[in-house]
């Protein structure tokens, strides 16, 4: 049994067989062939090995010419492994005796070799060979799998997906009936992959560091998404304990259904409006099921998930109308314009050359302002949708006032076009801006005069304030919503909004973690937008809070000097406010 700790991103316990994806996302399922297929499988294996050896010899010649014999010899060593009789015998045995598919036999044999090397050769020259072995595995698999990669969406049996990393698109197309959970070596707390996992209510842990060579497809694994734990091949007693925890959590979800109907007000009677964050129209159902007061953030760029063509204006409109219909009359739906780029979906609309710093480049509203036909198409759909409900429009990643003004100018132009065409829309549609870049937070007074509402995007605000990539587990220690610099920026924005009578909420993942609920209420927030999955737990905290108490907590937290101090302080307060609440971001 091996227990690993990573970053918890979506709560829940899952237990099941692993499906290991190699670094290029190739599935290596544990598959057996029929007795009649064994000889054919051995032949496939041998031809793949021969092709891989031929390729390695070619690479050796090429590298020797370009860089010298010393480097070329690395690939000569690879070629020798492809032809090594002992390696071949191991592979043949796995296919002939166990009837494993050629792909699975290769993956299993290579992982066994890696484990042996790492164990025996710790700190010696043998350790480096692990990386070479994965290169070797990849080369053989390339020849075996050729064009018939099995995409993740076609999984036949329920599994726990283990991968180096998953892109947001790969995550978005996972079938929840076939995937119990996932765990990845890379990734950060608020990466879009993590956000989607939470939206899909799929237990997930990211940023675990290297572990894929310790596990093979078919091994039993446990994912505890609340605690950020991955257990490989658990001992029976541990597995039994987690099964119990999983079943308790399932029965506790019934409790949240009861909470749904309770009002979101503090113990001393102040209403704290809880709205839902959604990525897909279907999630509107999760909002209504959990008693959300509307949709506070609809991340429309997820219309691009799993497709490489642009959604048409009608497709945009259809998606928006589904959300409006599900939410019902009087419920606001804040539609955020496309936030494409960086760790989200890359489209043909992005820059032609790869950027050195995509998070600081042409992403989000910057991309829309450079591609006005794309932007106008979406604005038309949003405005047309506004004829059918309480639709509000919001611009992401705004860093300067001129940028915001350009967006509003375009919105007005599109209104003019629609008016001429006789299309219905709400001419007084509320307009909001995300505050997720420090420059916008610092200019909050000026921005407050020009929009109806702010939504503080802490996911990006943290990343840009601390210069720490939200998707990079190596800087996860710096990336904290509790950092005093982040808290001060939030306060600047809330104070400015209140002074000007501008609406304000927080819609980053921070608002879904009940640990921060007293702090945010104490800073002055009366509206939060969060993943529907987290709504019941946050409401439970709201109902135990007194505003005066929350203000005292916020004032104290704002005097502290480090994220660690703030977290420790909030943990103590949490224990006092809600002693039964256990764990990190969930109940």
Q: What is the contact surface with ligand PEP in residues (CB under 6 A)?
A: 195, 297, 299, 339, 436, 457-460, 507-508
Query: 181 or 365, CB closer to ligand PEP?
Result: 365
| CB closer to ligand PEP, 132 vs 355 | 355
Binding at 10: pick from ligand PEP, Mg ion, none (beta carbon under 5-8 Å per type): none
Smallest separation, CB 518 to ligand PEP (Å): 20
**Least CB distance to ligand PEP at residue 458 (A):** 5
Number of residues forming the site for Mg ion (CB under 5 A): 3
Q: Which of 103, 436, 469, 587 binds Mg ion (CB under 5 A)?
A: 436
The closest alpha carbon to 460, from 328, 341, 584, 570, belongs to 341
Reported in sequence order, the residue ranges of 193-263 that DSSP labels E, i.e. its strands, are 204-206, 220-224, 229-232
Neighbours of 304 (CB within 10 A): 21
Contacted entry of ligand PEP, Mg ion, none for residue 323, CB cut-off 5 to 8 Å set by kind: none
Q: Can you read off the two tokens belonging to residue 239? A: 């597995």
Instruction: Report the nearest approach of Mg ion to the CB of residue 459 (Å).
Output: 5
> Smallest Cα–Cα separation from 231: which of 246, 220, 243?
220
Cα torsion angle, 231, 237, 239, 242, sign? negative
Looking at the Cβ atoms of 102 and 494, the one nearer to ligand PEP is 494
Choosing from 143, 192, 316, 578, the catalytic residue is 192
DSSP conformation class of 467: T
Residue ranges in 257-316 that form contacts with Mg ion under rule CB under 5 A:
none
**Whether 192 is catalytic:** yes
Token pair recorded at residue 165? 């990393």
Cβ-closest position to Mg ion:
460
Using rule CB under 5 A, residue 341 touches Mg ion: no
The answer to whether 339 and 363 have CB atoms below 8 angstroms apart is: yes
* Contact of 427 with 384, CB cutoff 8 Å: no
From candidates 103, 390, 460, 473, binder to Mg ion by CB under 5 A: 460
Shortest Cβ 455–ligand PEP spacing (Å): 7
Q: Among residues 457, 512, 518, 536, which is the contact residue for Mg ion, using CB under 5 A?
A: 457
Catalytic residue, from 287, 368, 407, 507: name it. Answer: 507
Stretch that binds Mg ion, among 308-316, 341-349, 431-439, 474-482 (CB under 5 A): 431-439
Strand-pair partners of 373: none
Tokens at 393, concatenated:
């429009």
Strands (E), 112-178: 159-163
Closer residue to ligand PEP in complex, CB, 53/278: 278
Asked whether 408 and 450 are in contact (CB, 8 A), the reply is: yes
- The secondary structure of 185-206 as a DSSP string is SS--TT-HHHHHHHHTT--EEE
Residue pair 168/344 in contact by the 8 Å Cβ criterion: yes
Distance CA 50, CA 180 (A): 38
97-131 in b/e form (b: 16+ CB < 10 A) is eebbbbbbbbbbbbbebbeebeeeeeeeeeeebbe
Provide, rounded to whole angstroms, the least separation between the CB of residue 327 and Mg ion: 22
Does 287 participate in catalysis according to the annotation? Answer: no
Q: Which of 167/459 has CB closer to ligand PEP?
A: 459
Query: Which among ligand PEP, Mg ion, none contacts residue 458 (Cβ within 5 to 8 A by kind)?
Result: ligand PEP
Give CA angle at 351 (348, 354), nearest 5°.
105
343 binds Mg ion (CB under 5 A): no
Q: Residue 397 Cβ, how far from ligand PEP at the closest point, in Å? A: 8
What is the rounded (10 degree) CA torsion for 223, 224, 227, 231?
A: -50
User: Out of Mg ion, ligand PEP, none, which partner does residue 159 contact, by CB within 5 to 8 A per kind?
Assistant: none
**What is the nearest approach in angstroms of Mg ion to the Cβ of residue 236?**
44
For Mg ion, the binding residues (CB under 5 A) are 436, 457, 460
Active-site residues, by number, are 192, 507
């Amino acid at each position: 049994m091996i227990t690993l700790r990573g970053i918890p991103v979506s709560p829940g316990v899952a237990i099941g067989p692993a499906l290991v994806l190699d670094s290029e996302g190739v599935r290596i399922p544990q598959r057996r062939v029929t007795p009649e297929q064994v000889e054919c499988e051995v032949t496939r294996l041998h031809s793949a090995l021969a092709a891989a050896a031929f390729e390695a010899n070619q690479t050796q010649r090429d590298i020797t010419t370009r860089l010298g014999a010393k480097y070329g010899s690395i690939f000569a060593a690879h070629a020798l492994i492809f032809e090594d009789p002992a390696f071949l015998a191991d592979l043949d045995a796995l296919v002939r005796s166990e009837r494993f598919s050629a792909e699975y036999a290769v993956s299993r044999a290579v992982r066994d070799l890696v484990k042996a090397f790492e164990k025996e050769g710790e700190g010696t020259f043998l350790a480096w060979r692990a990386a070479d072995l994965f290169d070797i595995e990849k080369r053989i698999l390339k020849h075996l799998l050729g064009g018939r990669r099995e995409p993740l969406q076609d999984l036949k049996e329920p599994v726990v997906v283990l991968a180096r990393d998953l892109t947001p698109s790969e995550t978005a197309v996972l079938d929840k009936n076939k995937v119990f959970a996932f765990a990845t070596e890379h990734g950060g707390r608020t990466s879009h992959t993590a956000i989607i996992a939470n939206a899909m209510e799929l237990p997930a842990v990211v940023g675990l560091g290297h572990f894929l060579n310790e596990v093979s497809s078919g091994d039993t694994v446990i994912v505890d998404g609340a605690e950020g734990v991955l257990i490989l091949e658990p001992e029976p007693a541990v597995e039994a304990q987690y099964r119990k925890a999983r079943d308790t959590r399932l029965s506790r979800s019934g409790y949240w259904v009861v909470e749904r109907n309770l009002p979101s007000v503090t113990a001393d009677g102040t209403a704290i409006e809880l709205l839902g964050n959604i990525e897909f129209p279907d999630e509107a159902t999760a909002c209504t099921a959990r008693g959300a007061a509307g949709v506070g953030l609809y991340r429309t760029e997820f219309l691009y998930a799993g497709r490489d063509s642009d959604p048409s204006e009608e497709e945009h409109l259809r998606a928006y109308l589904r959300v409006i219909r599900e939410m019902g009359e009087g419920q606001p739906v804040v539609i955020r314009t496309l936030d494409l780029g960086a760790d989200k979906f890359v489209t043909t609309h992005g820059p032609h050359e790869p950027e050195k710093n995509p998070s600081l480049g042409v992403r989000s509203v910057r991309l829309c302002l450079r591609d006005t036909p794309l932007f106008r198409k979406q604005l038309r759909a949003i405005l047309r949708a506004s004829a059918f409900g309480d639709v509000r429009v919001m611009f992401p990643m705004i860093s300067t006032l001129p940028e915001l003004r350009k967006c509003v100018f375009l919105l007005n132009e599109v209104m003019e076009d629609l008016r001429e065409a006789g299309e219905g829309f709400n001419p007084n549609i509320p307009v909001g801006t995300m505050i997720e870049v420090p420059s916008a937070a610092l200019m909050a007074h000026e921005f407050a005069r020009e929009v109806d509402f702010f939504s503080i995007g802490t996911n990006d605000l943290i990343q840009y304030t601390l210069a720490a990539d939200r998707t990079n587990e190596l800087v996860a220690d710096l990336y904290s919503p509790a950092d005093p610099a982040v808290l001060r920026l939030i306060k600047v924005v809330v104070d400015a909004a209140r002074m000007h009578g501008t609406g304000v909420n927080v819609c980053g993942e921070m608002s879904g973690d009940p640990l921060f609920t007293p702090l945010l209420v104490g800073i002055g927030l009366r509206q939060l937008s969060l993943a529907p999955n987290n709504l019941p737990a946050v409401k439970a905290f709201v109902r135990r809070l007194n505003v005066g108490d929350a203000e005292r907590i916020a004032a104290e937290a704002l005097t502290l000097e480090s994220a660690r101090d703030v977290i420790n302080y909030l943990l103590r307060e949490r224990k006092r406010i809600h002693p039964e609440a256990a764990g990190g971001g969930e109940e």
